[in-house]
């Protein structure tokens, strides 16, 4: 996740530099996108957001692992949506709903692929 963020933001920074050189963007060097900052933020967010579902899959008995893990992941997605909206000054309900729906969709597809290949260990 962090390396992907680094690559993505590095590309953005390269584009910004070209636009500054052409005079199409009025920014100073220290105002350009920072790929290392983005990579660190992504790594921290990924680790902190992933620890709760990992704990949720480890603690309950086998029969409860799937619903407990799903519920824990939804809670983390709600928190993530609200915090991101708060940081960006956006509508918290709308942001949380968008993050939860996207996350539930991704979990459903991932679980479906696991079923298809017989690799769902829960």
With H, G, I as helix, E, B as strand and everything else as coil, classify residue 22: coil
pLDDT, mean of each 10-residue run, the chain (122 residues): 92 94 92 93 88 92 93 92 91 95 95 88 59
Q: pTM of this prediction?
A: 0.70
Residue 52 near residue 75, CB atoms below 8 Å: yes
Number of Cβ within a 10 Å radius of residue 53: 20
| pLDDT given for residue 35 in this prediction | 94
Between CA 19 and CA 33 the distance in angstroms is 13
Between CA 62 and CA 122 the distance in angstroms is 7
Number of Cβ within a 10 Å radius of residue 101: 12
């Amino acid at each position: 996740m962090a390396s992907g963020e680094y690559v993505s933001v590095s590309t953005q920074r390269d584009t910004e530099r070209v636009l500054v050189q052409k005079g199409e963007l009025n920014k100073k060097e220290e105002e350009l996108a920072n790929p290392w900052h983005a990579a660190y933020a992504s790594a921290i967010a990924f680790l902190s957001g992933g620890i709760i579902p990992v704990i949720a899959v480890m603690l309950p008995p086998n029969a409860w692992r799937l619903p407990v893990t799903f519920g824990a992941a939804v809670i983390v997605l709600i928190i993530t949506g609200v915090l991101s909206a708060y940081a960006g000054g956006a509508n918290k309900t709308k942001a949380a709903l968008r993050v939860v729906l996207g996350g539930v969709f991704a979990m459903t597809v991932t679980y479906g692929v696991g079923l298809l290949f017989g690799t769902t260990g829960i």
